[in-house]
Structure 1
């Protein structure tokens, strides 16, 4: 009977982790300031690159945000939404996403819309910024 309880407990724990209700979600994030800044910049970079692809290339897959989400989940047991809720100044993922979208649209409009951006260095800059942040997260201990 004791082995059955342990097996059931392990199964329940794994299901909670899969569903995002792990014990860590109840505990406040304890990250140093440098890591918090890196996480914020990484989420912003992924979101901006995804917005560019969605608006200017008709690719709404959110691939970069999903890749960042997988990396954060495997390395730090975090999600992008949790970073937006707990680390960003707004402390609300919806407000964060609205602000990031407004900022991207302003950047897009300042560069002549999608047509102007396609011929500029902005797509390469967005990609380089995203790649730099991903590598920095991968290098964390």
Structure 2
């Protein structure tokens, strides 16, 4: 999917969804924002999830009522934090399997957590995966709230 590092037609479409700019930045959150934009367009609704390409900025600026620390319904956005840095990663939860979950993530790969080469389905821990710690989940639309 990627052509080079954080570039290629699909990647750049996702990057431009957020700020009309594609300059080689990490694109996992831009992929999520693109999927939200598609749902908003198709259903005629607006998500209160903050728009940014930076995962932790989205987490910090999305209204508190959209944040869930426990298990939301499938379709929620998971936000991970990389160690104690301001870097993160994100995906869409599709299913919970005990202490694991299935996700769809952009800018990941078969052997990587972030900075990968495409969009993949991943099986992840619901709390910690490598040095990535789950910050929580964002409910993009009210219907996903439990």
| TM beyond 0.5 | no
TM-score, normalising length: structure 1: 0.24
Which has more radius of gyration? 1
Q: Which structure has greater helix proportion? A: 1
TM-score, normalising length: structure 2: 0.23
